[in-house]
Amino acid sequence: MFTINDNFTLLPSSYLFSEVAARIKAYSESHPDAEIIRMGIGDVTRPLCPAVIDALHKAVDDESAMDTFHGYGPEQGYEFLASKIAAHDYRDRGIDIGEDEIFISDGAKSDTGNIGDILSTANRIAVTDPVYPVYVDTNVMAGRGGHLLPDGHWSKIEYLPCTQENGFVPDLPATAPDIIYLCYPNNPTGTVLDRAALTMWVEYCRKNGCLLLFDAAYEAFVRTPGIPRSIYEIDGAREVAIEFRSFSKTAGFTGIRLGYTVVPKELKGLDNNGNMVRLNPLWRRRQTTKFNGASYITQRGAEALYTPDGQSQSRETVDYYLGNAAVMLDGLRHAGYSCVGGTDSPYIWLKAADGMSSWEFFDHLLDRYHIVGTPGSGFGPAGEGYFRLTAFNTRENTIKAIERLKS
Ligand code: MLT
């Protein structure tokens, strides 16, 4: 009889956002008249911008004619998009990234989950607490988690608490892990790290031979001058860091799916014989084998984001969400909540009212105000007693939600 990957049986039965969705569905069925405002999963509400829509239509037409039709594309993405990414997202900002270091994919969630394929299961990982659950769950699936402890931590993972006491900024690890995940602007707390803090992490990784997996999915929300938008703004990062980026929140691609991962050529890890091996060809090998490339149509849509119209339209969308976040921060603070995030990020992290647990507060907000958020404890034990709200709803619903909370 065949056997299964037992690691899957170690995981809680459902993924955080699936659990939240199931609870909303149950509540809506039993309260059909409730006008629920969703500020839970970070899904966007604004439509794709006109420049992208035009490019998508044109790409669909390309597929209708023999001489412009595209079947399988390059697994790591089309050159027309990779060259724009390298130029606009990096070289124009003084960062040296080549097209052959960019791997276009169907999103940062898949890539942050899949990257473990090219890394030994013996590596010890460190994550912030709270943390985007994909990093932890995918490492548990691969056998790097150990077992779930009564306090909600996994035995083999080092957790770097981000609490009110340390201003939600993680300290350096105590146990020299092999791989460190950082996400900045942070999901879920919405906080950012400045240049000095990121420099400290890059130097730590260089000194200790650690790989830094840097999730920059929310970089487009950075507005504070001096806050880095890429880990490669930090000297030496090319030797230690992989960066993940997403078009989901920047340009509304949560449904059509597109992201990319940067694996610099300098980045090397040890093999079993003690040889230093480049990660770039390993990731290429992984992607060409297991992934057939993001669709031609979607990549043409993303290419339009790098035109002047695409740039200004997508910036306007991000500004709209940041405007929502400002409304939320103001309203929540007036209502007496203690919050962080929301200035360079679409996420606001707040302390649950009246000492409630995260899930108690979830039920309270849903039942009393018909507002959905995400319980902080779903992001890790240090999130207990906290709650995440997103700024991705419409302005109208955002104002309505805040008015409900203030009442
Ligand atoms: C979130 O709500 O944390 C994100 O939308 C999840 C994701 O991007 O996969």
Question: Looking at residue 8, what is its pLDDT?
Answer: 96
Residues 127-147: b if buried by 16+ CB within 10 A, e if exposed: bbbbbbbbbbbbbbbbebbee
Over the stretch 83-92, which tens digit does the pLDDT of each residue have?
999 999 999 9
Tell me the pLDDT band of 402, cut-offs 50, 70 and 90.
Answer: very high
Q: Is the CB of 42 under 6 A from ligand 1?
A: yes
339-341 vs 347-351, strand pairing mode: antiparallel
Question: Looking at residue 406, what is its pLDDT?
Answer: 87
- Ligand 1 center to residue 122 CA distance, Å? 28
Distance CA 157, CA 181 (A): 11
Q: From 15, 132, 387, 392, give the residue whose CB has the most ligand 1 atoms within 8 Å, as the site to mutate.
A: 132
Over the stretch 218-247, which tens digit does the pLDDT of each residue have?
999 999 999 999 999 999 999 999 999 999
Q: By alpha-carbon position, which residue is closest to atom 9 of ligand 1?
A: 109
What the block records as the tokens of 344 is 């360079």
Q: Is the CB of 249 under 6 A from ligand 1?
A: no
Q: Is the CB of 124 under 6 A from ligand 1?
A: no
Distance CA 150, CA 70 (A): 52
Question: Looking at residue 82, what is its pLDDT?
Answer: 98
Question: Looking at residue 156, what is its pLDDT?
Answer: 98
Question: Looking at residue 13, what is its pLDDT?
Answer: 81
pLDDT mean over 334-346: 96
pTM of the model: 0.97
* Closest atom of ligand 1 relative to the 254 alpha carbon: 8
The answer to whether residue 115 scores a pLDDT higher than 90 is yes
The answer to whether residue 15 scores a pLDDT higher than 90 is no
The answer to whether residue 407 scores a pLDDT higher than 90 is no
pLDDT mean over 176-205: 98
pLDDT mean over 305-332: 98
Over the stretch 148-184, which tens digit does the pLDDT of each residue have?
999 999 999 999 999 999 999 999 999 989 999 999 9
What the block records as the tokens of 17 is 């956002």
125-129 vs 386-390, strand pairing mode: unpaired
Q: From 17, 134, 254, give the residue whose CB has the most ligand 1 atoms within 8 Å, as the site to mutate.
A: 17
- Ligand 1 center to residue 42 CA distance, Å? 5
Question: Looking at residue 145, what is its pLDDT?
Answer: 98
* Closest atom of ligand 1 relative to the 41 alpha carbon: 2
Distance CA 370, CA 35 (A): 6
The answer to whether residue 277 scores a pLDDT higher than 90 is yes
What the block records as the tokens of 108 is 């940062």
Question: Looking at residue 176, what is its pLDDT?
Answer: 85
| pLDDT above 90: percentage of residues in the chain | 97
**In whole numbers, what is the pLDDT of the chain averaged over residues?**
97
Q: How many residues does the chain have?
A: 407
The answer to whether residue 146 scores a pLDDT higher than 90 is yes
pLDDT mean over 5-32: 92
Over the stretch 70-83, which tens digit does the pLDDT of each residue have?
999 999 999 999 99
Q: Is the CB of 133 under 6 A from ligand 1?
A: no
Q: Is the CB of 153 under 6 A from ligand 1?
A: no
